[in-house]
Every structure is written in C-alpha cells, then in structure tokens.
C-alpha cells in the first residue's frame, strides 16, 4: 500500500520522531520490541504520546553491531510497517535502513520516508527514493557501525561533516531525488568523540545555513552524555539529560529522534513556554565543554 507522501515542513520547534527498533541488539532498547506485536503496541503508545513520526529499524547501528542481511531485516520490519500503517493512518512512518531492497519493500508496505545512516552507500538507494518521491534523511557516519567508535579523527569535524553531506546531497539530487524532500543528520555518536559531538551540536545553525536543508538530530540516550557528565553509565537511564538536550536543540532542527516521546514532548513544551532563547544553547554547551576538560 502506498501512502500519500507527507508534506515536508520545517517545524519550529522540532517535531518528535519516535525510535522503534525491531532488533535484539540496539544499544538502548534492543529486544524490547523484537516481536511484531510488542512493536505495534510501542508504536501506538509513541503516537499517543505525541510522536509526529515513527522511525522503524530492523538492523542495529550501535557501535560494534553486526549487520544482518536484507531478508532478516525485512522479516523484522515489514509486519510492523504494515501493522502501524493500518493502525495509525495519520502518523507517517520512516524506515531506518541502508539497504535499497529494504527501503523499496517498506515504502510499498506503507512507509513514507527513508532514513539512511549511510547516506546512499547502497548504489540503488537514491533510485528507490526518486521512484517513490518520498523524503530522505542523509546522515554522516565515519566508518561503519563496526568501526566508527575506534578513535574517530577529524581535522575539523564541522567542516568535514558539511562537506560530506553537501556531496551526498548533490549525488542524491543528481540521481533524481527532489532537493526539497531531503533532510540531513550530522550523525551524533556515529564516529565522533564527545568533543566532536559537542562541536556539531554547537554548529547546527551553520549546518542549516550552509546546506540549506532541515536537520534531523538524534541525541537520545547516547553514550556521549555519560562521557560529558561522568554519570548515567546505563543507556536506559539517560532520559533526563537527553530531555535537557532535546529542549535546547528543538529550536535548531526539524526532527528530533527520541526514545521517550512523552518526556521529550514535555521538555520541549516547557522550554517553549519559558521562551528560552537559542543563544542559551551555545552558553550551556560551552559550559559543559569547559567542565569536561577541567
């Protein structure tokens, strides 16, 4: 079943994208929604809590993760895509995959966007997206999930991420993907140290200005929070600091990928109600960076 493609609008503050991993080994919620029935319950709950999108993934991209073949990925995600399409006709679904074959099948089953952490490494991905006319997220990653956190290095992380994404944006549009349907993701935690992540978060306005596309940002429960704070060793316990970041980052991006939708929605609503000015982001992150090196 093909859905009408949603209009891609830049939300201010960001809309929330609920993360729904149908995997046994994702870094935070691996196994909790592996059964299709559990994933459907979780997806409906995220939508009820305020998720504007649901992002369904069938292959873990945590550091060191082992990949799965397309057949296994499809076995995991297709029942969930089809089930949520039927249950939540007004909530668009994103398929989180780097495989063109998986993207094609998921779009046919009702997904409305492709979220590709490899930014089109599969030679067939851009053609699939162009054929469907759907939105596409292009993400930066240094290396692969298996290697990305083995001492990542950059001369200038912001310059290099912008250059990479600009190149992938050109490649996608040359292959027929509509530029206005493309979003970009700096890939927080994907081949980056704590300092790299902070530099990119501080540079979100620059990424938007230089690349000209809306941003998707995922900081939820990620390890750099533990590295920066010296606390929260368990991923599932990082919701509170994640929501601090969500509230601060929401004015600077279009979509926030989150695990705890209700908490993220509350944090963003409170920040908006207090009219926290965007420049506070730079102040808070700069203070954190100084503290990390004290």
Residues carrying an active site annotation: 222, 257
Nearest to 196 by CA among 159, 168, 231, 229: 159
| Residue spans of alpha helices (H) in 182-238 | 194-202, 204-211, 223-229
The conformation of residue 34, written as its DSSP 8-state character, comes to: -
Dist. CA 130–CA 127, nearest whole Å: 5
Dist. CA 165–CA 168, nearest whole Å: 5
Going through the chain in order, the beta strands assigned E by DSSP cover 15-21, 53-57, 93-96, 113-116, 136-139, 182-185, 216-218, 255-258
């Amino acid at each position: 079943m093909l859905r009408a493609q949603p209009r891609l609008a830049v939300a201010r503050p960001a809309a929330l994208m609920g993360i729904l991993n149908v995997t046994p080994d994702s870094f935070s919620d691996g196994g909790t929604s592996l059964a299709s029935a559990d994933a459907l319950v979780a997806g409906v709950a995220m939508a009820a809590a305020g998720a504007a999108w649901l992002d369904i993934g069938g292959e873990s991209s945590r550091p060191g993760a082992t990949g799965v073949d397309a057949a296994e990925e499809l076995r995991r995600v297709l029942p969930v895509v089809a089930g949520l399409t039927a249950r939540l006709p007004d909530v668009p679904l994103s398929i989180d995959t780097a495989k063109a074959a998986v993207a094609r099948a998921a779009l046919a089953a009702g997904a409305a966007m492709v979220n590709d952490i490899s930014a089109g490494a599969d030679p067939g991905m851009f053609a699939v997206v162009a054929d469907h006319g759907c939105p596409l997220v292009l993400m930066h990653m240094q290396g692969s999930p298996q290697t990305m956190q083995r001492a990542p290095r950059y001369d200038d992380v912001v310059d290099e991420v912008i250059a990479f994404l600009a190149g992938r944006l050109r490649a996608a549009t040359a292959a027929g993907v509509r530029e206005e349907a493309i979003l970009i993701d700096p890939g927080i935690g994907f081949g980056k140290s704590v300092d790299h992540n902070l530099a990119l978060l501080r540079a979100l306005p620059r990424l938007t200005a230089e690349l000209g596309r809306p941003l998707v940002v995922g900081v939820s429960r990620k390890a750099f929070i533990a590295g920066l704070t010296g606390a929260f060793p368990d991923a599932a316990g990082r919701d509170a600091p994640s929501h601090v970041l969500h509230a601060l980052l929401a004015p600077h991006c279009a979509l926030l990928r989150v695990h705890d939708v209700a908490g993220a929605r509350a944090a963003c609503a409170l920040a908006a109600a207090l009219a926290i000015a965007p420049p506070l982001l730079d102040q808070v992150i700069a203070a954190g960076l100084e503290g990390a090196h004290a």
